[in-house]
Amino acid sequence: MTERIVSVKITLDEGNLILTALAEYPFKTVFELIGKLNQQAHHQFAEATDKTVQKPFMFTEQEMLLTIKALGKLPYEHVHQLLDKLNTEMEHQLRRLNKEAGSVSHSYADR
């Protein structure tokens, strides 16, 4: 069974905040995800003149769960908007996928 992919539109600043949160975890746990996000950021923002524009980033469900957990360890005032955005997008995509599959949806916000 292949893991589902989640696409989330984030700005360069939001991506940097995610990297800051992941950097607090043991390197062995997050180095692949950090490399993947850096590669996507370089590809998405290499020619962008407006760094506030939102670009799609791809995460597996497990990578998104790790990202949300990492962000949850940072001060609330720095991450609450991004966490809300990520949770909302995850719920939306899971509802859509589960509706297509005919199964019951669940929220990552409860994990």
Question: What is the pTM assigned to this prediction?
Answer: 0.80
Where is average pLDDT lowest: 39-48, 73-82, 91-100?
91-100
pLDDT value at 109 more than 70: no
Q: Which residue has the higher pLDDT, 45 or 10?
A: 10
Residue 11: which pLDDT band, with cuts at 50, 70 and 90?
very high
Q: What SS3 class is residue 4?
A: coil
- pLDDT, residue 72, reads 93
Using one digit for the tens of pLDDT, what is the confidence trace for 75-92? 999 999 999 999 898 888
d(CA 81, CA 104): 27
Any residues with CB less than 8 A from the CB of 44 and at least 6 apart, and which? 55, 56, 57
Q: What SS3 class is residue 1?
A: coil
d(CA 7, CA 86): 10
Tokens 């809300």 -> residue: 84
d(CA 69, CA 54): 22
